[in-house]
Amino acid sequence: MSQPNNPAGRLLQVLREAERDYDRLKGMKSLDAWSQLLCVPNHQRRRLINTIFLTYELPQEIERSVRASTASDPDRYLVWVKQFNIYLRSVSFESKFEANHSGLVDPSSLALLNFCDELLATNPEPVVDHDALLKLLDGIEGCVRDIQQSDLPHHVRLYLLRLLDLVADSIAEYRVIGIRAVAYCTDSVYGLHKREQGTWEQAKTTEIGDRVWDIMGKYATVVAVVESAARLGAFVQKFLPA
């Protein structure tokens, strides 16, 4: 499947999956259904709820993008926005998915959203391979468990956990906000490295540190379309095992 290259395409991708799997999702609690649609495990509650709320903000982002485009009559692209906001902002995570979300997968709503996608795709954002990013998550979870159980100094553990947290957040958020999630992560990681160079020196000599740098190197390779990712990859590569 091609990667969506604009906010309308990203929302449409999520809602097309909801449409396809609606018979299975409709009886679930909203939180459980969103967990599956956004590829964020339910036990990662902070990350899941944050990514859901980023999804809820997409109609406003789409509206801004359409109004900033060359469309001669932007209002005709946006007649769905007000109703979508009503659906999204009336959600209870404990309610059944169908109680609040059935209107989101209405064929006429999806057709209007597709209309916006076609418009915004004429000025595409850079994209990365999200499936390749998702494959990093198992390794990240394993590293997090091992770091938490390790006897590393407390500040080193916090440093490594923060690196992995930034990467995992960006993988979840990429599905919703696109390349901005990657830019936020790579800039934050680079800034953390600059602020904590002493901790970096301690962490890079450990076996767990090697595993973290390996994950960071793979992440930087996948997201290399972002300028700051090249900078991230350059300094991570210095400390990868030969």
**Tell me: the pLDDT tens digits for 170-185?**
999 999 999 899 888 8
Comparing 227 with 203, which gets the higher pLDDT?
A: 203
Strand partners, 29: 96
Question: Is the distance from CB of 12 to CB of 117 less than 8 angstroms?
Answer: yes
What is the rounded CA–CA span in Å between residue 96 and residue 160?
Answer: 38
> What is the mean predicted confidence (pLDDT) over 193-203?
83
The amino acid occupying position 191 is: G
> What is the mean predicted confidence (pLDDT) over 99-114?
82
Whole-number CA gyration radius for the chain: 20
Q: Is the pLDDT of residue 220 over 90?
A: no
**Tell me: the pLDDT tens digits for 151-168?**
999 999 999 999 999 999
Question: Residue 107 has which token pair?
Answer: 């064929």
Question: Is the distance from CB of 117 to CB of 6 less than 8 angstroms?
Answer: yes
Predicted local distance difference test score (pLDDT) of residue 242: 40
Question: Is the distance from CB of 103 to CB of 53 less than 8 angstroms?
Answer: no
Predicted local distance difference test score (pLDDT) of residue 240: 42
The full length of the chain comes to 242
What is the rounded CA–CA span in Å between residue 47 and residue 153?
Answer: 26
Residue 226 burial (CB count, 10 A): 21
Burial group, residue 15, by CB count within 10 angstroms (0-12, 13-18, 19+): buried
Which uninterrupted H or E stretch holds 47? Answer: helix 45-56
What is the rounded CA–CA span in Å between residue 93 and residue 82?
Answer: 21
**The model's pTM:** 0.86
Determine the 3-state secondary structure of 48 from DSSP.
helix
- By C-alpha distance, which of 81, 47, 87 is closest to 67? 81
**Tell me: the pLDDT tens digits for 23-82?**
899 889 989 999 999 999 999 999 999 999 999 999 999 999 999 998 889 999 998 888
